[in-house]
Amino acid sequence: MSNSSSLWSDAFRRLIKNKAAVGGAIVLLILFILAALAPWIAPYPYAYQNLDLGASPPSAEHLLGTDILGRDLYSRILYGARISLLVGFVATTVALFIGVTWGLIAGYFGGKIDTVMMRIVDVLYGIPFIIFIILLMVVFGRNLWLLFIAIGAVEWLTMARIVRGQVLSLKNQEFILAAQAMGVSNFSMFKRHLLPNILGPIAVYATLTIPQVMLLESFLSFLGLGIQPPMSSWGTLIKDGVESMEEYSWLLIYPGLTFTITLFALNFFGDGLRDALDPKTSDN
Amino acid sequence: MLGIFFRRVLLAIPVLIAVASITFFLVRLAPGGPFDADKAVSEQVLKNLNEAYNLNAPLSEQYFDYMSGIVVGDFGPSFRFPGRSVTELIMTGLPVTFELAIYSMLIALLIGILSGVVAALKRNTFLDYIPMSIAMIGICVPTFLLGPLLVLIFGINLELLPVSGWGQLPGDKILPSLTLGFAYAAYIARLSRGGMLEILNQDFIRTARAKGLSESMVVTKHAMQGGLLPVVSFLGPAIAGLLSGSFVIETIFQIPGLGRFYVEAAFNRDYTMILGTTIFFSFMIVIFNLLSDLAALWLNPRSRDT
């Protein structure tokens, strides 16, 4: 146990030294707090319209201006952050759950089970899922939770491969054999012995999945197939911004800037985490 | 080597059949028939419509009809454009999308490989840092944001380039191709930098240098062959990405290609069109993935003996 705790504290020390990763983490932390507090700190409700005002540039009353319907852009970006971050985390959790379970079972039991399960992953890899998500949205309507699950169900494949690889390298080590000899059940074998030892790669890959998932959601929302008005996600805000960018460029620039900064922060943090937990790959 | 080739090709067949079947049944699962939205349709007309599009036959018969149609390239009639077949519509949009994809790919390869190789050779100098920082931007700024921003700058403020269209005004192909190609240029730059760095450390490069080959010879003849392997394997997924990227680009720039047809079909609930284009896109992606895998296998000397 002392060995594993020193691994984590070593990793933490390396992470702290990486300025880009720390900067990313700080940006993300601020963003989480703002998104969580949105109903209390947003100056206006997200659907509040002021049709008399219409689109107005940034001012003292409306920090980032208003859109064509007179809705406060700052409030809408705050509420949009909730949706975009929620998608990022829920879909990543779904992907994590399926991928880790799949990889654990395939890697641990091995043999025919492994072959069949990994062949299924191979076949699924070949399927262009983004088109399928669009199809799902068309067929079953644009439901927020369906969107979460559909995106998550797409992103688990790589996670399954990573986990399986890790389990394969672990399962012949003495402590696993010892646990088997003691008659530990499969479930607690996974929970107590295997999972804690592969948390590193899982954490890294999960962090890098979040920005991909958020991009996918905003891509769909941009096409009009994701989040529906009057709710806002960053994708729908950018879509609205594009439609009126010739006259009201701030409607495109502020949501775009927020989204880009968030993606930067997530990527920097993810890269930093990978370098910290796996110093071998960080050389180049 | 040949064995792997055959296995990969064989693996693609169940993928194609699975894709076509899943798509078919998903669309049939959709609540409501394709003509429900047309309010003015009377019962008799509805019946005739269903008859005309063969929707009254048992599902299994429809399925086999459809699947055997696909084999000969027949995707059935379009629900929304009476008298036109889905195959016809696909063939109208395909050349445009294909041209866009080729230009974007060329831009991506040219910029990506050049800056990646230079960055690897001039590691930890500003020739490394600057292109790699730009690449990070390319990865973090989504195309649906980059496109409108470029339009805003070059189209609206500077009035240098047309803001939309394809092949109507001089220079209207530049912005769409650049937008779509940029993100892939970024990925390719990172991949070729990583691949080159790994190769440049190896013994055979040291040998090549030691026997007095010029640096340009070492790089182009020896290092790039292996160093660019990751780029070759990336080409398949990249083409898949370019095709789905075309949904956005063609919508932003109002380009009459396959991607825009697809998005429009999704909005109009033109089920046969969605079904046909989904299967068509999927086939193309599966095939390009297969080709890039096979190319990477063929180029990799380590896989030749097996």
Residue B79 predicted with pLDDT over 60: yes
| B29: closest chain A residue by CA | A139
| A138: closest chain B residue by CA | B266
B18: left (phi > 0), else alpha (psi -120 to 50), else beta? Answer: alpha
B1 pLDDT band (50/70/90 cuts)?
A: low
Phi then psi for residue B25, to 5 deg, are -75, -30
Number of H helices, E strands in chain B: 13, 0
Model pLDDT for residues A158-206, shown as the tens digit of each residue: 889 888 888 888 888 888 888 888 888 888 878 788 888 888 888 888 8
Contact B82, B274 (CB under 8 A): no
Judged by CB atoms closer than 8 Å, whether chains meet at B286 and A242 is answered as no
Model pLDDT for residues B19-34, shown as the tens digit of each residue: 888 888 887 776 655 5
> Average pLDDT, stretch A253-257?
90
Phi then psi for residue B85, to 5 deg, are -90, 155
Contact A67, A240 (CB under 8 A): yes
Judged by CB atoms closer than 8 Å, whether chains meet at A225 and B152 is answered as no
Which residues form the domain of A72? 7-51+63-277
Is residue A66 classed as helix, strand or coil in its secondary structure? strand
In a domain, A233, yes or no: yes
Judged by CB atoms closer than 8 Å, whether chains meet at A130 and B27 is answered as no
**pLDDT for position B104:** 94
Judged by CB atoms closer than 8 Å, whether chains meet at A139 and B29 is answered as yes
Query: What burial letters (b/e) apply to B185-209, b meaning 16+ CB within 10 Å?
Result: bbbbbbbbbbbbbbbbeeeebeebe
Average confidence score pLDDT of chain A: 82
> Average pLDDT, stretch A98-127?
85
Handedness of CA A120, A125, A131, A133 (dihedral sign): positive
- Among candidates A131, A139, A219 on the partner chain, residue whose Cβ is nearest the Cβ of B281: A131
Domain ranges in chain B are 89-299
| B195: closest chain A residue by CA | A284
> The domain that contains A230 carries what CATH number?
1.10.3720.10
Rounded to a whole number, what is the distance in Å from the CA of B199 to chain A's nearest CA?
Answer: 12
**pLDDT for position A31:** 92
What secondary structure, in 3-state letters, does A18-59 show? CHHHHHHHHHHHHHHHHHHCHHHHCCCCCCCCCCCCCCECCC
Q: Which position has the higher pLDDT, B159 or B52?
A: B159
Judged by CB atoms closer than 8 Å, whether chains meet at A223 and B140 is answered as no
- Among candidates A131, A259, A264 on the partner chain, residue whose Cβ is nearest the Cβ of B145: A259
B259 Cβ partners below 8 Å, 6+ apart? B93, B97, B243, B244, B246, B247, B248, B249, B250, B251
Ranges A52-56, A91-95, B23-27, B199-203, most confident: A91-95
ipTM, interface predicted TM-score of the complex: 0.79
The CATH number of domain B89-299 is 1.10.3720.10? yes
**pLDDT for position A183:** 82
Model pLDDT for residues A48-75, shown as the tens digit of each residue: 777 777 777 887 777 788 877 778 888 8
Please report where in the chains the tokens 């985390």 appear, as a residue. A89
Q: Is the bond preceding B237 in cis, omega lying within 30 degrees of 0?
A: no
A282 pLDDT band (50/70/90 cuts)?
A: very low
Q: Which position has the higher pLDDT, B110 or B275?
A: B110
Residue B174 predicted with pLDDT over 80: yes
Residue A2 predicted with pLDDT over 70: no
Most distant CA atoms of chain B, gap in Å: 86
Rounded to a whole number, what is the distance in Å from the CA of B70 to chain A's nearest CA?
Answer: 18
Rounded to a whole number, what is the distance in Å from the CA of B44 to chain A's nearest CA?
Answer: 26
Residue B39 predicted with pLDDT over 70: no
Judged by CB atoms closer than 8 Å, whether chains meet at A132 and B269 is answered as no
Q: How many CB pairs under 8 A join A and B?
A: 106
Please report, rounded to a whole number, the percentage of residues in chain B having pLDDT higher than 90.
13
pTM: 0.80
**pLDDT for position B127:** 87
A138: chain B residues, CB-CB within 8 Å: 30, 266, 269, 274
In a domain, A206, yes or no: yes
Distances (CA, A) of B87 to A153, B102, B244, B268, B274: 31, 22, 19, 18, 12
**pLDDT for position B32:** 58
B22: chain A residues, CB-CB within 8 Å: 132
- Among candidates B30, B194, B252 on the partner chain, residue whose Cβ is nearest the Cβ of A139: B30
- Among candidates A127, A134, A223 on the partner chain, residue whose Cβ is nearest the Cβ of B19: A127
A272: chain B residues, CB-CB within 8 Å: none
Burial class (CB in 10 A: 0-12, 13-18, 19+), A117: middle
Mutate to test the interface with A, among B145, B163, B270, B277 (most CBs of A within 10 A): B145
Number of H helices, E strands in chain A: 13, 0
In a domain, A255, yes or no: yes
Phi then psi for residue A247, to 5 deg, are -95, -40
> Average pLDDT, stretch B169-174?
85
A1 pLDDT band (50/70/90 cuts)?
A: very low
